[in-house]
Structure 1
Amino acid sequence: MTTTSAPISGANRARVGVQRFGTFLSGMIMPNIAAFIAWGFITMLFISVGWLGHWYPVADLLGGFGNADAVGWKGALTALAAAKDGTTFPQYVGLVGPMVTYLLPLLIANTGGRMVYGERGGVVASIATMGVIVGTDIPMFLGAMIMGPLAGLITKWMDRIWDGKIRPGFEMLVNNFSAGILGMLLAIVGFFGFGPVMLGISAVLGTVVAWLVSIHLLPIVSIIVEPAKVLFLNNAINHGVFTPLGIEQATNAGKSILFLIEANPGPGLGLLLAFTFFGLGQAKASAPGAIIIQFFGGIHEIYFPYALSKPMTVLALIAGGATGVTTNMILGGGLAFPSAPGSIIAVTAAALSPAAGGVGNLFIVYLSVLLAATVTFLISGVILRASRKRDLAAEDTFGAAIAQTEANKGKSSAAMDALRASTTAGAAAGAGATTNAEAPAPTATERRISTIVFACDAGMGSSAMGASVLRNKFKKAGIDGVDVTNKAIANLDGTEDLIVTQQQLTDRARARNGEAMHVSVDNFMNSPRYDEVVEIVRKQHDGDA
């Protein structure tokens, strides 16, 4: 019943390695995005210049007013009674300062430690990162992204030393004391050594960004970012550099342009509009629907197949991205917190924050989106019109571009599946549907299925939507007692009966759980394999009756 995935060629190993590194970095950030958004909204509402900043005394208590001697809400009330003038961004009292200084880096570190060595690695990572945080005076996101996984790895190495050598009854004692002592030592190292080093690295990176801004060269970053997005290599840049530096800038200045370098929805919108007006075949038919998913849903990967089907349009994306960066750089636009996903709705919320400049800043950000979309649209339109005759004589390769996009990413996604579904429907009415290259479905002679897991790199997004589709199919079929969930491949624990993955990820999933049945699909949203799985489970249930 298990399926076979194509091996990774030598030419693609480097790309896959960078993708996995980017996935690891984003795996530390993405599960904690809700905390970033919560911090952003608290900042937006309760700092002294926030929407509710005049709401004394609650705003002062939540937003803070920079008095280091005021501890807790009682101490804050006492200090407020003596001085009600308020100040700028808080550091000690209120929620805003402690959240960005302690909560967010510790969440990142805990997630990184867990990814390496489970709960035990996460605990030691949090302790160690506390030393890094206290040893610096800036939000230590880069330090957390390095110390977290490192502490988890050291904990794993430590446990191997006495694995199987502990006398029965002493396991808890040894485990707790060893983790506590190691955490203490790493926290001390972080305070005296690691923290200052990361402070220096952050200062250097910040200086580089400031230098690029001062000489008006920040837009050249788009030469790297836009092609990297199409090849799914952007996570290492975005989550490894832009987000940590952006948080630091936003803490000091209230906003950061770095949050908009990758997340600006303008270039993708311009490309999809160009295909809507000047494209051909499946690409033209599906582009309007893709605009809604990309611009309002924030799923930028929906436009990647369009760029791959016409590689010259990457130049248009670079020009559009550089235009957006230039607009924000000259006019001072930026976001108060990360926009995740890169939806115009999320961008609006982050740009409208009073700390970022309110309505005036929102106008600048909207202008950067509009100009980026316009430049990308015009250049893409010229490219598409110039090659129109040749494209009319050639076979429509948009379906192949979708497959190439998924191969670049190393996994399928709900966005790609929805895009394929729309193009397949259009092709069925005309020239025919895209070939389905999915692997054979399981047979009824295999193990009993009670736990089905959809697995992808991050364990969110596409796998969650695929699991929802299959749950609905079971519900319509009147089948109960089957648990359908989604998780990251790294979190597969051997308890799964059947694992559904995109073709390029099946081998990785099988390495995590070789005993389970594996279904490799090409289409997470409407795969015919799902109906066959439902039928197998139905027969198993009928056999129990």
Structure 2
Amino acid sequence: MNQSAMKVSVQKFGNFLSSMVLPNIGAFIAWGLITALFIPTGFFPNEELGKMVGPMVTYMLPLLIGYTGGRLIYDQRGGVVGTIATMGVIIGAPDTPMFLGAMIMGPLGAFVIKKFDGLIEGKIRTGFEMLVNNFSAGILGGVLAILAFLGVGPAVKAFTEVLVSGVDWLLEAGLLPLTSILIEPAKILFLNNAINHGVLSPIGLEQVQQAGKSILFLLEANPGPGLGVLLAFMLFGKGMAKQSAPGAAIIHFFGGIHEIYFPYVLMKPMLLLSVIAGGMSGVFTLVLMGGGLVAPASPGSILAIAAVTPPEGMAYVANFAAVLVATTVSFLISAVILKSSKQTDEDINEATKKMEQMKGKKSSVAGNLTGTTATAAGVLPSNVEKIVFACDAGMGSSAMGASLLRKKVKEAGLDVKVTNTAISTIPADSEIVITQEELTPRAQSKVPNAYHISVDNFLSSPEYDRLIDSLKNGVSGEQAELVEKSEAPVANQTEPAADDQLLLEENIFIGQDFRSKEEAIRFAGEALVNAGYVEESYVDEMMKREEITTTYMGNNVAIPHGTEEAKKSVIKSGFTVVQVPNGVDFNGESAKLIFGIAGKDGTHLDILSGIAVICAEQDNVDQLAEAKSAKEILEIINSN
């Protein structure tokens, strides 16, 4: 494996570890605060409330990690099986918090059920899908839980004890400060959150159980080394770097976003000496004065550090002193380096790009500071593996857009996974997210580090071809393998796309005329109700969905459907087709074909994919809009 490929592999592994912990940091903080407040040595000792501490760290936190790890691999189904498997490893070693065990069993459980589903795909008789899905998850989850109880739990417990003993040895030998030689450069280069949340936090939480606090939570999270570099740039920097340093210092120290200072170090690699020395001096201070935290400080803000500092002894003095000493040492060395530099103007933008390339993703914070925010006109992430289409409910427009792009990706020979989801459930590790223009701000707030593309026409957006070209150009030196199987494949155009239970001839309405889109949407919704696909409340949710952003897809096609909240009103998946030869106005666009959609458990995606492929061609839409009977429309859909 060459150096570049190895770096990418390490990046992915590190990002995956941190992705299991980061979404659950709120739970870690809640546990840390309850611990600091109510244990016998806490601020407000309370025996009754203190009873929550043990169960939260033993059960709640590992189960959250296991569920999140499983969901990253295989969505909700993977999360459920991963949680079952994690419970086995928890009970198998009840005296040890099973964070490492959860990081193993959560993804493993999801991987096993994903492989099983792949083996039985297309082999289950109609009507038995739910039975097989539920029992396979239960049986496989149970088996994995037993294996985890018998083998993985005890093995992880032994491994954790070795790690803790190693840390204790480093402490006794006075060598713990030397860890900064590895931690500080690694976090700047490409392993920021992975070090803290993937490696140090699980061991630190084990130490908390034994000693009430852990120094490990501050090895990476100490803001002092980065603050020292930024203060030096404020006084001795030049150009854009000096102008942006004050804002970066505030974000870094009080906001806890450490990656904001990474470009400044990369701009002058000699500054690695500053952060290493600052980190070592901070750790030495913590060891000398007995510092530590009761829970991870995330983000690494001075405010977060204060919140999870234990009240007993000199912990506050030790922790704040460690930050101050690290800042001072880092500042002094940085000042010498900057003062002796002959460069007249530092290129902070170029350094930011370098950081993003090494991290393998865009940095929204650093980009905002330097005026290089991630937009569709920016630089795509390297080694893209996942593209996510997102809409409000995740069952209509996003599914059609994903179907079309999935087809283009396959035709281009790219090994890239294309899926669709609701904005509220966009995976945290999404690399590229495509949404309608009105929904992009919501998607950006959900996954700010992803690369976002806005489109106004899901059926024929030129952004698709631009994206494909960019992805193809990004394949360096190797021919990407053709995708053999997609998670939700485009309907086979040589076979009928419509299922007789999803689209019936009596649910196709010819020659309709409406005064407004609201009237047309209600007509389509009532048709779904009359067909037994949805409850009456679903129609109102269709209207609410249209208020959020239009369901007009382009090419004279609209696909009204409910909001995410409306999913509970869906009885079973189904479609209705409403032909409007003269068109009806959808926010200035003329819709001649209206596909009313009700989706449940993804069973509508195949036919929706087929409709998307058909309607991507304007000639096909014109043919459907001019059809003289419901039977003719059904035949056109089935023949494509």
Normalised by the size of structure 2, how large is the TM-score?
0.62
Once the two structures are superposed, what CA deviation does each residue of 1:392-422 show, in whole Å capped at 9, x if it has no partner? 2xx542221111111112222221122212x
The CA distance in 1 between the partners of 2:133 and 2:488, in whole Å, is 29
Could you tell which deviates more after superposition, 227-236 or 95-104?
A: 227-236
Tell me which of 391, 408, 425 is aligned to 2:343.
391
Work out whether residues 131 and 187 of structure 1, in 8 Å CA contact, stay in contact via their aligned partners in 2. Answer: yes
Tell me which of 419, 432, 438 is aligned to 2:378.
438
The CA distance in 2 between the partners of 1:49 and 1:280, in whole Å, is 49
Instruction: Kindly indicate whether residue 107 of structure 2 is the aligned counterpart of residue 107 of structure 1.
Output: no
Q: CA offset at residue 233 of structure 1?
A: 1.8
**Larger of the two Rg values belongs to structure:** 2
Instruction: Kindly indicate whether residue 352 of structure 2 is the aligned counterpart of residue 402 of structure 1.
Output: yes
Once the two structures are superposed, what CA deviation does each residue of 1:210-236 show, in whole Å capped at 9, x if it has no partner? 111110111111011111111122433
Instruction: Kindly indicate whether residue 261 of structure 2 is the aligned counterpart of residue 311 of structure 1.
Output: no
Once the two structures are superposed, what CA deviation does each residue of 1:37-87 show, in whole Å capped at 9, x if it has no partner? 11111112222222221xxxxx32221xxxxxxxxxxxxxxxxxxxxxxxx
Amino acid at match of 1:377: F
Work out whether residues 28 and 296 of structure 2, in 8 Å CA contact, stay in contact via their aligned partners in 1. Answer: yes
The CA distance in 1 between the partners of 2:139 and 2:18, in whole Å, is 30
Match of 2:188 in 1: 230
Instruction: Kindly indicate whether residue 287 of structure 2 is the aligned counterpart of residue 300 of structure 1.
Output: no
Work out whether residues 432 and 450 of structure 2, in 8 Å CA contact, stay in contact via their aligned partners in 1. Answer: no
Residues 3-402 of structure 1 aligned to structure 2 (within 5 Å): 11-53=3-45, 59-63=46-50, 94-136=51-93, 137-351=95-309, 353-354=310-311, 357=312, 360-387=314-341, 390-392=342-344, 396-402=346-352
Work out whether residues 272 and 290 of structure 1, in 8 Å CA contact, stay in contact via their aligned partners in 2. Answer: yes
- Counterpart secondary structure, 2:343: helix
Q: CA offset at residue 201 of structure 1?
A: 0.8
The CA distance in 1 between the partners of 2:175 and 2:302, in whole Å, is 25
Amino acid at match of 1:323: S
The CA distance in 2 between the partners of 1:484 and 1:513, in whole Å, is 25
Distance 1:313-1:294 versus aligned 2 partners, 3 A rule: same
Amino acid at match of 1:104: L
The CA distance in 2 between the partners of 1:295 and 1:439, in whole Å, is 28
Q: CA offset at residue 305 of structure 1?
A: 0.7
The CA distance in 1 between the partners of 2:190 and 2:340, in whole Å, is 28
Identity %: 51
Bigger strand share? 2
The CA distance in 2 between the partners of 1:463 and 1:270, in whole Å, is 34
Q: CA offset at residue 514 of structure 1?
A: 12
Work out whether residues 274 and 381 of structure 1, in 8 Å CA contact, stay in contact via their aligned partners in 2. Answer: yes
Distance 1:344-1:505 versus aligned 2 partners, 3 A rule: farther
Distance 1:481-1:233 versus aligned 2 partners, 3 A rule: closer
Once the two structures are superposed, what CA deviation does each residue of 1:448-485 show, in whole Å capped at 9, x if it has no partner? x977979998369x999x99xx9xxx8xxxxx788842
Match of 2:538 in 1: none
Amino acid at match of 2:52: L
Amino acid at match of 2:343: D
Distance 1:482-1:38 versus aligned 2 partners, 3 A rule: closer
Match of 1:458 in 2: 428
- Counterpart secondary structure, 2:428: coil
Normalised by the size of structure 1, how large is the TM-score?
0.72
Q: CA offset at residue 100 of structure 1?
A: 0.1
Distance 1:232-1:176 versus aligned 2 partners, 3 A rule: same
Match of 1:6 in 2: none
Q: CA offset at residue 111 of structure 1?
A: 0.6
Distance 1:505-1:294 versus aligned 2 partners, 3 A rule: farther
Distance 1:159-1:104 versus aligned 2 partners, 3 A rule: same
Distance 1:372-1:292 versus aligned 2 partners, 3 A rule: same
Work out whether residues 410 and 505 of structure 1, in 8 Å CA contact, stay in contact via their aligned partners in 2. Answer: no
Q: CA offset at residue 490 of structure 1?
A: 10
- In structure 1, the gaps of 5 or more residues are 1-8, 54-58, 64-93, 425-435, 441-446, 475-479, 516-535
- Counterpart secondary structure, 2:308: helix
Amino acid at match of 1:111: T
Q: CA offset at residue 123 of structure 1?
A: 1.2
Match of 1:524 in 2: none
The CA distance in 2 between the partners of 1:118 and 1:491, in whole Å, is 21
Count the aligned residue pairs. Answer: 439
Could you tell which deviates more after superposition, 403-412 or 481-490?
A: 481-490
Work out whether residues 362 and 451 of structure 2, in 8 Å CA contact, stay in contact via their aligned partners in 1. Answer: no
Could you tell which deviates more after superposition, 405-414 or 142-151?
A: 405-414
- Counterpart secondary structure, 1:485: helix
Work out whether residues 187 and 195 of structure 2, in 8 Å CA contact, stay in contact via their aligned partners in 1. Answer: no
Once the two structures are superposed, what CA deviation does each residue of 1:254-279 show, in whole Å capped at 9, x if it has no partner? 11000000000000000001111111
Distance 1:240-1:36 versus aligned 2 partners, 3 A rule: same
The CA distance in 2 between the partners of 1:21 and 1:265, in whole Å, is 25
Query: With CA pairs under 8 Å and 6+ residues apart, which has the higher RCO, 1 or 2?
Result: 1
The CA distance in 2 between the partners of 1:179 and 1:292, in whole Å, is 48
- Counterpart secondary structure, 2:251: helix
Q: CA offset at residue 376 of structure 1?
A: 0.3
Work out whether residues 267 and 346 of structure 2, in 8 Å CA contact, stay in contact via their aligned partners in 1. Answer: no
Distance 1:463-1:155 versus aligned 2 partners, 3 A rule: closer
Amino acid at match of 2:428: A
Q: CA offset at residue 10 of structure 1?
A: 6.0
Q: CA offset at residue 145 of structure 1?
A: 0.4
- Counterpart secondary structure, 1:391: coil
- Counterpart secondary structure, 1:312: helix
Aligned residues: CA RMSD: 4.0
Q: CA offset at residue 239 of structure 1?
A: 2.2
Q: CA offset at residue 117 of structure 1?
A: 1.3
The CA distance in 1 between the partners of 2:469 and 2:39, in whole Å, is 46
Distance 1:208-1:457 versus aligned 2 partners, 3 A rule: farther
Q: CA offset at residue 507 of structure 1?
A: 4.0
Residues 481-496 of structure 1 aligned to structure 2 (within 5 Å): 484-486=442-444
Amino acid at match of 2:47: D
Q: CA offset at residue 162 of structure 1?
A: 2.1
Amino acid at match of 1:391: Q
- Counterpart secondary structure, 2:443: strand
Q: CA offset at residue 169 of structure 1?
A: 1.8
Once the two structures are superposed, what CA deviation does each residue of 1:75-115 show, in whole Å capped at 9, x if it has no partner? xxxxxxxxxxxxxxxxxxx2110000001001000111111
Amino acid at match of 2:76: E
Q: CA offset at residue 187 of structure 1?
A: 1.1
Residues 449-528 of structure 1 aligned to structure 2 (within 5 Å): 458=428, 484-486=442-444, 497=458, 507=471
Distance 1:215-1:188 versus aligned 2 partners, 3 A rule: same
Work out whether residues 86 and 105 of structure 2, in 8 Å CA contact, stay in contact via their aligned partners in 1. Answer: yes
- Counterpart secondary structure, 1:52: coil
Instruction: Kindly indicate whether residue 374 of structure 2 is the aligned counterpart of residue 416 of structure 1.
Output: no
